Amino acid sequence: MARTVWDSSVGKKTVMAVSGLIMLSYLVVHMIGNLKIFFGAGEFNHYAHWLRTLGEPFMHYEWTLWVIRVVLVVAVVAHAVSAYQLSRRDIRARPTKYVHSKPRASYATRTMRWGGIILGLFIVWHILDLTTGTVHSGGFQEGHPYQNVVDTFSTWYGNVIYIVAMLALGLHVRHGFWSAAQTLGAGSRTRDRALKATANVLALLLTAGFIAVPVGVMTGVVS
């Protein structure tokens, strides 16, 4: 049954919708946590340490964090694979262009695929920069996330990569949230306006919230 559901377009769209909502939930929490950087190094570093002790003593040190990471990896892979396979299926279904042009789609809709690729590459860079320190500018300091964040956004390329990715994220969330609602049957003629408004608000808040951090470093508010 699972294979039958996965092989269907409806099944793949459902996987995309559910995995997308999982990632969206994480992004909201992650953004709120990031904003703690404006309260100083002590509070931000304490928050980062708390994430590693979450669930203690029932859970061992960092176990909860690793559970979250595994769930996110599964969600990202499921989202990317289903999106790719749906895209290939769509191309095979109509190998030639329509005779009459389709109505012009929104900018977010037309950039969903490229936005997904940009975000995928950003995730890799973000992990190598602030989690493992592999590509981190300056000296990566384990256990000092505040200083590591300041180091990253003290470089022009760190700011460019992050801000471009967050703009892509905003467009992705704006279209993706509404699409997920339609796929999961939450949409209707009466609720569509509210769902679209919610998608716009979420996209705006996430984009502004994430970009506030590099802007804070660039302006000296965070230093």
Tokens of 39: 């309260």
Residue bearing the bigger pLDDT, 7 or 67: 67
The tens digit of pLDDT for each residue in 101-129 reads 555 555 555 677 888 899 999 999 999 99
For 144, phi and psi rounded to 5 degrees? -130, 65
Q: How confident is the model at residue 58 (pLDDT cuts 50, 70, 90)?
A: very high
pLDDT at 96 over 70: no
d(CA 101, CA 88): 20
For 129, phi and psi rounded to 5 degrees? -85, -55
Most confident range (mean pLDDT) of 4-8, 110-114, 131-135 is 131-135
**Number of other residues whose CB lies within 10 A of the CB of residue 136:** 17
Q: Average pLDDT, stretch 1-23?
A: 88
pLDDT score recorded for residue 124: 95
Alpha helices in 57-111 (DSSP H): 63-93, 107-110
pLDDT score recorded for residue 138: 75
CA distances from 48 to 24, 51, 56, 72, 191 (A): 20, 5, 15, 18, 38
- Report the chain's mean pLDDT, rounded to a whole number: 89
Q: Average pLDDT, stretch 139-155?
A: 93
List CB contacts of 41: < 8 A, sequence separation 6 or more: 146, 147
pLDDT score recorded for residue 111: 74
pLDDT score recorded for residue 88: 83
Q: DSSP letter at 36?
A: G
pLDDT score recorded for residue 112: 79
Residue bearing the bigger pLDDT, 108 or 89: 89
Query: String of b and e for 31-41 (b: at least 16 CB within 10 Å)?
Result: beebeebeeeb
pLDDT score recorded for residue 108: 55
The amino acid occupying position 80 is A
